[in-house]
C-alpha cells in the first residue's frame, strides 16, 4: 500500500503494535514521526535517518504533545496521518486499584489521545485533509475484570472516535478506531501461563494476534482506499468479542 508523500505521527511507536505500524507506513513510503518516553536505545532501532524520526515526548503532557506536532509540521511541512497508539495498563481489581493506577491509565490512554489530536486536527483542518486512527481495545467494548481503568479509557476512546469523526468530517478528515484483542506484545508478555491459556480458549481463531496482523488493518484504514469510512470501530481480535 502506497503512502508516498504522506506524513504520519504514531504515538508509542518504539515497540509492539506501534512499532509494526511505523514500519508498515515507512515501507509504504511515508515520512513517519513516532514518540517514545524513556527507552532511546529501542527507539533508535526503529528510526531511519530523516524518513523515520523518533521524538521523546510524553503524551500525558499537553505542552509536550503540542511541541511534538509543531516540530513535525516544521520538519515535514504537513501531517496527513495520526495514529493514537500510546497506551499502558495497571491491571488490578477495583478494591486494590489506587487512584494513581486509575489516573496514570486515563492520562496516557485517553487524555493522551486528546492532547495529540487537538493540535493535529488544527493542522489537518487548515489543509482540508487527513486521517486519524485510534488504537483501542475489545476491553473497551465488552469490559474486562481487573481492568476497570483500562476498559474505561478504551471505551472513552471509542466515544472520542465517534464524536470527533462527526466534528471534522466536513473538513475531509476521517477518524476511525481499531479495537484489538490479545496481541503478542510486551504488555501481554507479563501474563501468566494460566491466564494466557484461558484467553486462548476464548478466541475462535485459536491463536493470539501478532502486531503485524494489527498493522495490516491499520494500513487500510489510514490509506486512501478507506476515504469513505469514518466513525467506525473495527474489531481485530480473532473473534474474541463475538
Residues forming the active site:
150
Look-up of cell digits 485533509: 129
Element (H, E) at 16: helix 16-27
Assigned C-alpha cell, 205: 481463531
Please, are residues 169 and 161 in contact by the beta-carbon 8 Å criterion? no
- For 39, other C-beta atoms within 10 Å of its C-beta total 12
Phi first, then psi, for residue 54 (nearest 5°) are -90, 135
Nearest to 14 by CA among 47, 48, 62, 61: 47
In the DSSP assignment, the letter for residue 169 is G
Q: How far, in Å, CA of 136 to CA of 158, rounded?
A: 7
Nearest to 196 by CA among 155, 185, 216, 241: 185
Amino acid at each position: 500500500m502506497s503512502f508516498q508523500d504522506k506524513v504520519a505521527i504514531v504515538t508509542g511507536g518504539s515497540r509492539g503494535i506501534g512499532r509494526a505500524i511505523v514500519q508498515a507506513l515507512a515501507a509504504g513510503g511515508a515520512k513517519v514521526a513516532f514518540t517514545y518516553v524513556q527507552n532511546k536505545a529501542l527507539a533508535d532501532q526503529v528510526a531511519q535517518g530523516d524518513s523515520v524520526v523518533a521524538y521523546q515526548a510524553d503524551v500525558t503532557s499537553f505542552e509536550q504533545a503540542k511541541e511534538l506536532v509543531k516540530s513535525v509540521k516544521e520538519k515535514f511541512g504537513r501531517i496527513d496521518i495520526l495514529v493514537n497508539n500510546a497506551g499502558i495498563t495497571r491491571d488490578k481489581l477495583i478494591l486494590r486499584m489506587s487512584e494513581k493506577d486509575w489516573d496514570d491509565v486515563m492520562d496516557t490512554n485517553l487524555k493522551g489521545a486528546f492532547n495529540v489530536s487537538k493540535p493535529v486536527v488544527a493542522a489537518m483542518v487548515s489543509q482540508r485533509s487527513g486521517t486519524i486512527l485510534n488504537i483501542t481495545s475489545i476491553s473497551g467494548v465488552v469490559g474486562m475484570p481487573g481492568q476497570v481503568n483500562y476498559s474505561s479509557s478504551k471505551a472513552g476512546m471509542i466515544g472520542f472516535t465517534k464524536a470527533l469523526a462527526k466534528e471534522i468530517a466536513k473538513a475531509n478528515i476521517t477518524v476511525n478506531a481499531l479495537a484489538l484483542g490479545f496481541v503478542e506484545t510486551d504488555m501481554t508478555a507479563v501474563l501468566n501461563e494460566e491466564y494466557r491459556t484461558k484467553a486462548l480458549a476464548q478466541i475462535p481463531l485459536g491463536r493470539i494476534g501478532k502486531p503485524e496482523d494489527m498493522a495490516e488493518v491499520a494500513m487500510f484504514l489510514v490509506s486512501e482506499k478507506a476515504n469513505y469510512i469514518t466513525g467506525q470501530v473495527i474489531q481485530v481480535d480473532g473473534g474474541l468479542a463475538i
